[in-house]
Chains A and B, each alone.
Chain A
């Protein structure tokens, strides 16, 4: 009995060791977002609370904690309260199988990729239930938009993951990373380049971020599914959204960018120094880069129209992923190395870009 208690206590400590840094990461991702977009738009961003505004997210959290949670009188009370929990629970549960470094993982289960896919597909419940339980037209419209979008992009995402598991011939995230060992040209972003793009863009759509944020659509439906939420209940949705962003960034780093592996691995001179060592630092740097790309997207692209989002998901991404799975199967069956496939893929992409550049220049001059 005592052993069981100690075991459970240790697991809880490990969970805290993941969740607390994650929550801090979420808090400072919101700060980074406001600051970065500020600089991209030639503003300063928040700079009042604490030195250089560093305490801004803490102040925001305190403000939201103190605010009253208002439950609309015609709302379905039970579902209204449970919806934020349904959103945050899967987005935190998915972190249980994320390997942060070699051996640094809470639960190294065999089918961890499938587990993550299952957990991220549960996030949609919180959104639908929130939209329905609020008993408000704007909230319901937002929930419908966002649910349809999440269901559509999940398919493309799942197919992209099929490519990854075919290449690694494993469903285990740790195994997927170790299969990519041997230098930057062994990472899966090269042989799986189309799937890499599809996965990341689908990830942006899954988390309802700009340019796919019609679910929020401030100019049309106020704020989408969480219009009626205030105070901490709203903050929980906010936390879940940013935790999902970090999760997508982390998964992209793990599956396509070699996780904790060093990019200088296998390069003669630099590879022998400390830069060639694989560690959690590389993992964090790669994840931070992808999280930055999320923010960069928001500052760069205008919002997609709804039918264009659906077209991109169903008619562009899903065919691309299916074709690439076939290509990958042929490559595996013919025993061609992934490095060859990767180099030829990148070669074709570069050649196409050069070609279209030249043709557009020729047309412009004629």
Chain B
């Protein structure tokens, strides 16, 4: 077994164990942290495939941003785990059906399209190969339209999320910093000339 193969099985094993922990952990915070480990291990697998740009972006976007917000929500909600487990037996048949169907579908795709004789062998590049550059080149030439459409979709998503969650409460207090900066001494301070009081004897 070569070193690379060893690394592959190591990370793949961690990935599968962590993925199992995501659905079996009792504590939702543990589940979320296991999902982080899943993303991390898959990033490591991508690095083994020389897709360093995608791997680092996976860590940056999913681990660095998305999962942080997930954890935030999970920690703040204080979910009652026992009440969520109540319907386990009731929903089990539907769950098993969905799992079996998706397993068959995935099996069909994998058996039909993957295998040593169906996929060309992985091209190993030299030290000079730049993964980032080649991805950029492909994205901005061959797939420009779909890339731009994806970008616009994301923008629409951001605008929609903000529009949905923005509500103006009538009694919120806020400051206007530009007004505060423009305040002069005369606006706030009045110097009054007074006669000195007589000493009370």
Contact = CB atoms under 8 A, between A and B. Distances in A.
Interface of A: 4, 76, 79, 109-111, 114-115, 117-118, 121-122, 124-125, 128-129, 132, 140, 144, 147, 151, 154, 171, 311, 363
Interface string B60-77: 100111001101100110
Interface in B35-77: 36, 52-53, 56-57, 59-60, 63-65, 68-69, 71-72, 75-76
Contacts of B14: none
A111 B3 contact: no
B130 interface: yes
Contacts of B68: 124-125, 128, 147, 151
A-B complex: 3 closest residue pairs judged by Cβ atoms: A121-B64, A118-B60, A118-B59
A115 B56 contact: yes
A150 B71 CA distance: 14
A109 B75 CA distance: 36
A112 B75 CA distance: 33
Contact of A132 (B52, B59, B75): B75
B132 A121 contact: no
Given A128-B68, A151-B68, 8 more contacts: A79-B30, A111-B52, A114-B53, A114-B56, A118-B56, A121-B63, A121-B64, A154-B65
Contacts of A363: 184
A113 to B, nearest CB: 10
B60 A117 contact: yes
Contacts of B184: 363
B177 interface: yes
Nearest to A158: B60
B36 A125 contact: yes
Nearest to B75: A132
A121 B65 contact: yes
22 contacts: A76-B27, A79-B29, A109-B52, A110-B52, A111-B132, A117-B60, A118-B59, A121-B59, A121-B64, A122-B63, A124-B68, A125-B36, A125-B68, A128-B75, A132-B29, A144-B72, A144-B76, A151-B65, A151-B68, A151-B69, A154-B65, A311-B177
Nearest to B174: A307
Given A129-B33, A151-B68, A121 B60 contact: yes
B131 interface: yes
B35 to A, nearest CB: 12
A77 to B, nearest CB: 12
Contacts, number: 66
B33 A114 contact: no
B131 A111 contact: yes
A129 B75 CA distance: 9
A4 B69 CA distance: 41
Instruction: Name B's interface SS.
Output: helix
Contacts of A121: 59-60, 63-65
Interface of B: 3, 27, 29-30, 33, 36, 52-53, 56-57, 59-60, 63-65, 68-69, 71-72, 75-76, 130-133, 177, 184
Most B Cβ at <10 Å: residue of A114, A129, A144, A151: A114
B3 A4 contact: yes
A111 B53 contact: yes
Contacts of A140: 75
Contacts of A115: 56
A76 B27 CA distance: 11
A110 B130 contact: yes
A128 B63 contact: no
Nearest to B76: A144
Which one of B27, B56, B59, B72 has the greatest number of beta carbons of chain A within 10 Å? B56
Nearest to A116: B56
B99 to A, nearest CB: 29
A118 B64 contact: yes
B131 A110 contact: yes
B60 A114 contact: yes
Contacts of B130: 110
A110 B69 CA distance: 29
Among A79, A117, A118, find the residue whose CB has the most chain B CB atoms closer than 10 A.
Answer: A118
Contacts of A4: 3
Nearest to B136: A171
Given A79-B29, A311-B177, A114 B57 contact: yes
